[in-house]
Structure 1
Amino acid sequence: MALTPALRQYAIITGNYWAFTLTDGALRMLVVLHFHALGFSPLALAMLFVLYELLGVVTNLLGGWLGARLGLNHTMNLGLGLQIVALGLLLAPTHWLTLPWVMVAQAISGVAKDLNKMSAKSAIKLLVPSHAQGKLFRWVARLTGSKNALKGVGFFLGGALLSGFGFAGAVLGLLLFLLLVWVASLLSLSRGLGKATRKPKFRELFSKSAPINYLSGARLFLFGARDVWFVIALPVYLASTFGWSHWGVGSFLACWVIGYGVVQSLSPRLFSRPPERQHAIGWALALAAIPALLALGLMPAPGALATGALGGTSAQLLMVVAGLGIFGAVFAINSALHSYLIVRYANRDGVSLDVGFYYMANAAGRLMGTVLSGWLFQSAGFTACLWVSAALVVLAAVCSLGLPAEELPARELPDKN
């Protein structure tokens, strides 16, 4: 059966997003594990990603504006091209790979990732009729969930490539793969996709919509709550406290992200109608309880957790693995709710402006979480990261109180297709 133009573009956008995410996840794991092995401290590892996240804040604002003026095909292809540049910088001689050099490479990768993500999420709004909110929820959930599952595969791939081919060989393989995808995208992606009917002014970068502002605040705290313990603290904690190998850490985090993506893709099945404000509040409060309970459970052995010394118990390890799994499932549902709501609230003409502003807050949350992850783990231990995570999710629930409370009209109930 021939694909409709909308489905064909959705498939191309999804394929681009998948390919990019695979390389981005692999690169993240390569950098964390390789430079940890070289003796970088947890805080120094966090610093490698500061420009990555900081420029993501700027990129989402400017990228949304550029997407509305030039078209989302241009911003998506620009993201793929910049990721190739970032991978090329990491192929420099070993003695060049200093902290500033890697920070710059990661910064370019961060710009690339946010251009790609903003373009993909914005484009879906334009491919689904405005009355089909159920289909919109499913398409957003499938795109985001499959992307996160592939990010997990990327973590696994990064650990495997580092073990099998070394850092330079792994980076070269990722670069060649993405180069082929980029060429295919330049030839196949629809021209003018997402280009606004009017040219938005530069001063329109910041959202004037109250629902988008509240949702963006919730997103900031939600992703800060995840990254405060997941980005730096968890992989270093598993390696230093339990003696896990690079392969073991990469495989475990890969499985977690894959499971997270699967849950996110299936999350529409948990709702009889597209989600609203009360769902965002309730699921956030449920999420906040998980890191708090995990922190309480780990308190009997604070010395090992604070120092990061080898010697964590099997009970602690089981608790961390189980807690992380539950956190991932509930976090995936929260993330799917937010991803749908931003596309729903965004203005159809110039959609990338609103989506870009929202993902600016997402990047700011990752930046906050990344810095806190390295600093808190180094200064106060793993349980401190968990307590801060719980507090940040509570703040996300508070922000969600400002979302619109109106119910969807009957014509926007989920359809069966």
Structure 2
Amino acid sequence: MLAGLSAGVRQYLVVTGNYWAFTLTDGALRMLVVLYFHQLGYSPLQIALLFVFYEVFGVVTNLVGGWLGARLGLNRTMNLGLGLQVFALLMLTVPPEWLSVVWVMVAQALSGIAKDLNKMSAKSSIKLLVPESAQGTLYKWVAILTGSKNALKGVGFFLGAVLLSLLGFAGAVLVMAIMLALVWLASLLLLKQDLGRMKQKPKFRDVFSKSRAINVLAAARMFLFASRDVWFVIALPVFLKEVLGWDFWQVGFFMACWVVGYGAVQSVAPYFTGKRSGRIPGRTEVVVWGSLLAFLPMMIALALYQSWHPGWVLVIGLLCFGVVFAVNSSLHSYLIVSYARGDGVSLDVGFYYMANAMGRLLGTLLSGWVYMQWGLQACLWISTGLVLIAVLISLALAPGRLENDTV
């Protein structure tokens, strides 16, 4: 069956397979670090600081990576990301006494670079395989790619928790490094086409978008993802372990199920936002679904304030938040690929996901600091405010889809 596909599609399938394999290790590593260092007695803020370089270098990588992808081809940026992730995992297999904060932060920095090189390569490739006129197909393909990635990240959360229980931290990381190294070697053999390389070499200043729509989307995306991570990344797993007394595998299983469900909803998001009626989504859908999202962390916070059962409140609240957040994320992911330039798509996608990384960085830092100072309810109220900011920014989008709009 694969022999009947075009060379470009076969290359994209290889890129997607690489992205999926990488995503498993990325989700597992995050859960391993959070749970293991909490077990060692690190405070929520200290755990958050372990991820600072991961997010900071994600910001830089999305800018530089988009430029590199346009100059060198997306196959090379993908393979570079896989190799860096293998090296980052191997850095964490050292004896426990070597795992200082600085050492782990450096390993996380390399992992952050690797992750965003992979994401940029996969998201940029799809733009080049769908005709400009087939926007419905583009939305569906982006939704499937994004949703499947997040579902696998959820599986990675559970995998990380299970491996930590069975093999310990160093053993778990070593197993993941070996598995991903095999994927990397296969990728070096199979990825041959220079997908996404621009005909004219872009200058570095071209990484900054001149499109008003992309700039607006990027700003909204930053606050949208900060609103999720401000309570999901550090505060929630620590609360489940520390306050509710859940075991490692229970925390990992619950968060894995949430992310898998979140990814599944992303995959079918086009059916919630107008595809059945033939309508291509735009500003109205972004604002409506964003406004709905803002109510959910507020309602969870109010329920916890009223001393309702925290376990049930968080389970039910997270399910509702996950569904609505998944639709919001899928809408954003489609619009950025739709608005991006055909020649040099990785530049626009890289710029956009730079803002995404900034949002995760902001959310991660706030998650550790706010939870340590004021608890989970404060994180939820801040989440509500961040979503509202994203909605207000989205109002600046034009009602219809723009073509080559510049400022």
Same fold (TM over 0.5): yes
Q: Distance in 2 between matches of 1:7 and 1:205?
A: 26
Amino acid at match of 1:72: L
- Specify the SS of the correspondent of 2:36: helix
Q: Give the equivalent residue in structure 2 for 1:18.
A: 20
Amino acid at match of 1:282: V
Give 1:366's match in structure 2, choosing from 355, 360, 381. 360
RMSD, matched Cα:
1.2
Give 1:403's match in structure 2, choosing from 374, 397, 400. 397
Structure 1 residue 407, shift from structure 2 partner: 5.5
- Specify the SS of the correspondent of 1:242: coil
Structure 1 residue 201, shift from structure 2 partner: 0.7
Give 2:333's match in structure 1, choosing from 336, 339, 347. 339
- Specify the SS of the correspondent of 2:342: coil
Q: Give the equivalent residue in structure 1 for 2:243.
A: 241
- Specify the SS of the correspondent of 2:162: helix
Q: Distance in 2 between matches of 1:232 and 1:72?
A: 32
Give 2:280's match in structure 1, choosing from 274, 287, 290. 274
Amino acid at match of 1:183: L
Moved more, 54-63 or 262-271: 262-271
Q: Distance in 2 between matches of 1:110 and 1:18?
A: 16
Q: Give the equivalent residue in structure 1 for 2:292.
A: 286
Structure 1 residue 299, shift from structure 2 partner: 1.0
- Specify the SS of the correspondent of 2:110: helix
Sort the Cα spacing of 1:407 and 1:347 in 2 relative to 1 into closer, same or farther, 3 A.
closer
- Specify the SS of the correspondent of 1:192: coil
Q: Distance in 1 between matches of 2:321 and 2:280?
A: 23
Amino acid at match of 1:35: F
Structure 1 residue 126, shift from structure 2 partner: 0.5
**Structure 1 segment 15-414 matched on structure 2, within 5 A:** 15-270=17-272, 271-272=274-275, 273-301=279-307, 315-406=309-400
- Is contact 2:124–2:349 with CA below 8 Å preserved after alignment? yes
Q: Distance in 1 between matches of 2:82 and 2:129?
A: 22
Structure 1 residue 263, shift from structure 2 partner: 0.3
Amino acid at match of 1:358: Y
Structure 2, unaligned runs of 5 or more: none
Q: Distance in 2 between matches of 1:193 and 1:10?
A: 9
Structure 1 residue 191, shift from structure 2 partner: 2.5
| TM-score relative to the length of structure 1 | 0.93
Aligned length: 397
Structure 1 residue 202, shift from structure 2 partner: 1.1
Amino acid at match of 1:176: I
Amino acid at match of 1:293: M
| TM-score relative to the length of structure 2 | 0.96
Amino acid at match of 1:254: A
Amino acid at match of 2:267: S
Structure 1, unaligned runs of 5 or more: 302-312, 410-417
Q: Give the equivalent residue in structure 2 for 1:305.
A: none
Q: Distance in 2 between matches of 1:407 and 1:97?
A: 49
Structure 1 residue 206, shift from structure 2 partner: 1.0
Structure 1 residue 112, shift from structure 2 partner: 0.4
- Specify the SS of the correspondent of 1:124: helix
1:101-158 Cα shifts (integer Å, max 9, x gaps) = 1011011000000010011100110111111111111111111100000000000000
Amino acid at match of 1:128: V
Q: Distance in 1 between matches of 2:139 and 2:401?
A: 15
- Is contact 2:196–2:345 with CA below 8 Å preserved after alignment? yes
Q: Distance in 2 between matches of 1:333 and 1:408?
A: 22
Q: Distance in 2 between matches of 1:6 and 1:297?
A: 51
Q: Distance in 1 between matches of 2:18 and 2:251?
A: 27
Structure 1 residue 5, shift from structure 2 partner: 2.7
- Is contact 2:146–2:266 with CA below 8 Å preserved after alignment? yes
Moved over 6 A (4+): none
1:185-223 Cα shifts (integer Å, max 9, x gaps) = 111123211001111111112111100000000100000
- Specify the SS of the correspondent of 1:56: helix
